[in-house]
Chains A and B, each alone.
Chain A
Amino acid sequence: AQTVTQSQPEMSVQEAETVTLSCTYDTSESDYYLFWYKQPPSRQMILVIRQEAYKQQNATENRFSVNFQKAAKSFSLKISDSQLGDAAMYFCAYRSTVTGANSKLTFGKGITLSVRP
């Protein structure tokens, strides 16, 4: 079974600065997908960024980028130019490509990010 670990429960960043959120995972599969989701106080999960394991190039979405280290099974999220609206819980998630239930995401425990004005 796959596991996702987010060992930092909380982080804080100054507005306009850069912050990196860490995530490690464990799997025996060679092909899979990784995601970062944001959950604001409104509770709705919002996709931030996704990475396909077979792609070596790190995914980027505007101010959000990842550092995907497949051999180390590490998938960190970098938020540049942090904004007050970035304050939320962030979840790292894994999805297998072999399961028939392709809505099955395995989530980490999450990290609470606060942004200081």
Chain B
Amino acid sequence: ETGVTQSPTHLIKTRGQQVTLRCSSQSGHNTVSWYQQALGQGPQFIFQYYREEENGRGNFPPRFSGLQFPNYSSELNVNALELDDSALYLCASSSLAGATGANVLTFGAGSRLTVL
């Protein structure tokens, strides 16, 4: 089975620009979540998508938005980039949205965004 793949692996943007990051979920998984990991910090939950709808969000402003497609792949869009948006963006997929079990996440290797 294939794991979680993310693209691009690295990218550089300037302040005020917009960026789209992509994620292909693991086969059999129907839920995708996104995390932001600043340098030297632990990942922070941005949001989760299930059945093409956002059904959980962390403390991030509306300029962070996402999409989930019928094949369960996902995009993270960030508008009006700020310097503090420089981070590693991790995508994770899982198969038990809404369940109370120990929903194990499978992470991708991330997209490293640098905002100049």
Interface residues of A (CB under 8 A from B): 4, 6, 33, 42-47, 50, 52, 91, 93, 95, 97, 99-110
Q: Across the interface, name the chain B residue whose C-beta is closest to A99.
A: B56
B100 and A102 form a contact (CB under 8 A): yes
> B residues within 8 A CB of A105?
35, 43, 45, 105
B73 within 8 A of A: no
B109 and A103 form a contact (CB under 8 A): no
Query: In the complex, how many residues of chain B place their beta carbon closer than 8 angstroms to a beta carbon of chain A?
Result: 34
> A residues within 8 A CB of B109?
42-44
B94 within 8 A of A: yes
A50 and B104 form a contact (CB under 8 A): yes
Which 8 interchain pairs have the tightest Cβ spacing? Answer: A101-B56, A107-B42, A103-B33, A45-B107, A103-B48, A44-B109, A102-B103, A104-B45
Of A99, A102, A104, the residue contacting B96 (CB under 8 A) is A102
Of A46, A93, A95, A106, the residue contacting B103 (CB under 8 A) is A95
Bound-complex Cα distance A99 to B103 (A): 12
Q: Across the interface, name the chain A residue whose C-beta is closest to B105.
A: A103
Q: Across the interface, name the chain B residue whose C-beta is closest to A50.
A: B102
Bound-complex Cα distance A93 to B97 (A): 18
B99 within 8 A of A: yes
Q: Across the interface, name the chain A residue whose C-beta is closest to B59.
A: A1
Q: Please encode chain B, from 92 to 116, with 1 for each CB lying within 8 Å of some chain A CB and 0 for all others.
A: 1010111110111101111010000
> A residues within 8 A CB of B90?
43, 45
Q: Are A47 and B104 also in contact (CB < 8 A) when A103-B33, A103-B94, A103-B97 are?
A: yes
Whole-angstrom distance from the CB of B80 to the nearest CB of chain A?
A: 25
B43 and A45 form a contact (CB under 8 A): yes
Other A-B contacts than A93-B42, A99-B56, A102-B99, 15 sampled, CB-CB below 8 A, are A4-B42, A43-B109, A44-B107, A45-B107, A97-B100, A100-B55, A100-B98, A101-B33, A101-B56, A103-B31, A103-B33, A103-B45, A104-B33, A104-B45, A110-B42
